[in-house]
Amino acid sequence: MKPRKPPPDQDDLLRARLVEMIDMRHELVKLEGLIDWDVFEREWLGFFPSHTGRPATSPRLVAGLLYLQHVYALSDEAVVAGWAENPYWQHFSGETFFQHRLPLDPSSMTRWRKRIGEEGVEWMLTQTIDAGKRAGAVKGNDLKRVTVDTTVMEKNIAHPTDARLYETARRKLVGLAHEAGVSLRQNYNRLAPRIASQVGRYAHARQFKRMRKALRRLKGYTGRVLRDVGRQLDKVQEGALKARLVEMIALVNRLLAQKPKDKKKLYSLHEPAVDCISKGKAHKRYEFGTKVSVATTNRGGFVVGMRALPGNPYDGHTLDEALEQVEILTDQKPEFAFVDRGYRGHGVQNVKVFISGARRGVTRTIAKLLRRRSAIEPMIGHMKNDGRLTRSTLKGTEGDALFAVLCGCGHNIRMILRHLRAVLHYLIRLIRRVCTIIDAEMAFGRSDRVDKPTA
């Protein structure tokens, strides 16, 4: 059912309003007035086609919690618990009086993300861009010059070794078979974990012949369980459990058939869409996750586009989509795009694209802007260290798409809060300086009157 409109504010003689408890100069209070919250009430209304059932939670509350979650890099449980303790967070989310109870169950945020999808979170990113304009953190000409780059958003999986994958596949098959009532000839619950741990010891001791022999044995155990389950699959009744069992059998068959040099390998059983991406880093040769395209303003590093790119595509083939998203979110077509050498052969014609290191057709002004292309690297670092871009905790490719855009929202909010803090500190210093000058003038005037000789 669609969310109900909040009731009008009424005075409560037994409780004090939040505006009477908090400092109205706080940056979150200023930010709350810069965001157009009615957009979420209006645009998210179409995600609730049913007119029956319990009314949904307020969209403003959910949007506020999602913003706070990615600003402070918190989990669903942590942001909901912190909301019940922080009056500034409650004021930011639209509350009038201080609430002592949790606003919603943390699992509701998962259902909200599934319901609004990538379109809904892009509306959140659009509102952060508009709020940055109103706050003065983004100038009008900044949106005409963007920098585009890609990074890797790792997935929340363990490092995919062969021993771990074989043992995980066997354990999942045994668990599903036990749940379906299938009696196995042998489940290897005692032998397989012991061999899986022994593989790591052999590899550490550089006894690779023994390691490969143990891996073949462990792979054989998994294959025996797989064939045993497959022979008795007809005994399982049709339903959700059989569908899960069929899906797991297909994944384990894919795992056992893959070779070391194959492409599109399986690196996780609960996240089959994970890609192995090599970005040439010395400290981390391979990263397991998905590629993310990041578009920021050339000056200031404000995020104006964020998109997950499953399948590890070539960077140059993604530039057109990235610039199209920037135009949709900002409602303004960029004039210049600055990229690194990985975007050679992009094929974009409607926007002037300058590649790092290029000399042909580069004026002195363009060369100055092109030198600022590398400023996107620390912005990506802030999104990973201060935000949550380091590791995606949402499931599937759709979860990666939502998570990437929300990380961009969190980065923009942090930029706006930093700008508001700087403005407040500047005003405080200016007021103190004016007061000091006035006090000095008044003291000089008093001393002048005292030293003046009488007639």
Q: ∠ CA 310-315-318 to the nearest 5 degrees? A: 65
- My answer on whether 146 and 181 are in the same domain is no
Structural domains of the chain, count: 3
In tens, the pLDDT along 301-324 reads 999 999 999 999 999 999 999 999
Residue 448 has pLDDT above 60, yes or no: no
Burial class (CB in 10 A: 0-12, 13-18, 19+), 451: exposed
On whether residue 438 sits in a domain, the answer given is: no
On whether residue 282 sits in a domain, the answer given is: yes
Of all residues in the chain, what percent carry a pLDDT higher than 70? 95
65-74, 80-89, 346-355: least confidently modelled range:
346-355
- My answer on whether 104 and 177 are in the same domain is no
Band the pLDDT of 282: cuts 50, 70, 90: confident
Q: What is the pLDDT of residue 22?
A: 93
Q: What is the mean pLDDT of residues 50-71?
A: 90
- My answer on whether 251 and 281 are in the same domain is no
Band the pLDDT of 455: cuts 50, 70, 90: very low
Residue 344 in tokens: 């050679």
CB neighbourhood size of 191 (10 A): 13
Q: What are phi and psi of 300, to 5 degrees?
A: 105, -30
186-195, 293-302, 379-388, 444-453: least confidently modelled range:
444-453
Amino acid sitting at position 345: G
- My answer on whether 338 and 373 are in the same domain is yes
Q: What is the mean pLDDT of residues 111-126?
A: 94
Band the pLDDT of 50: cuts 50, 70, 90: confident
- My answer on whether 145 and 167 are in the same domain is no
Q: Which residue has the higher pLDDT, 83 or 452?
A: 83
Residues 6+ apart with CB under 8 A from 116: 44, 47
End-to-end Cα, the chain, rounded Å: 89
Q: What is the mean pLDDT of residues 107-111?
A: 94
Average pLDDT value over all residues in the chain: 91
- My answer on whether 183 and 252 are in the same domain is yes
Question: Which ranges constitute the DSSP H helices of 136-207?
Answer: 162-180, 191-204
Domain that holds residue 28: 18-116
Q: What is the mean pLDDT of residues 22-26?
A: 92
Evaluate whether 172 touches 250 at the Cβ level (below 8 Å): no
Residue 276 has pLDDT above 50, yes or no: yes
On whether residue 428 sits in a domain, the answer given is: no
- My answer on whether 222 and 145 are in the same domain is no
On whether residue 134 sits in a domain, the answer given is: no
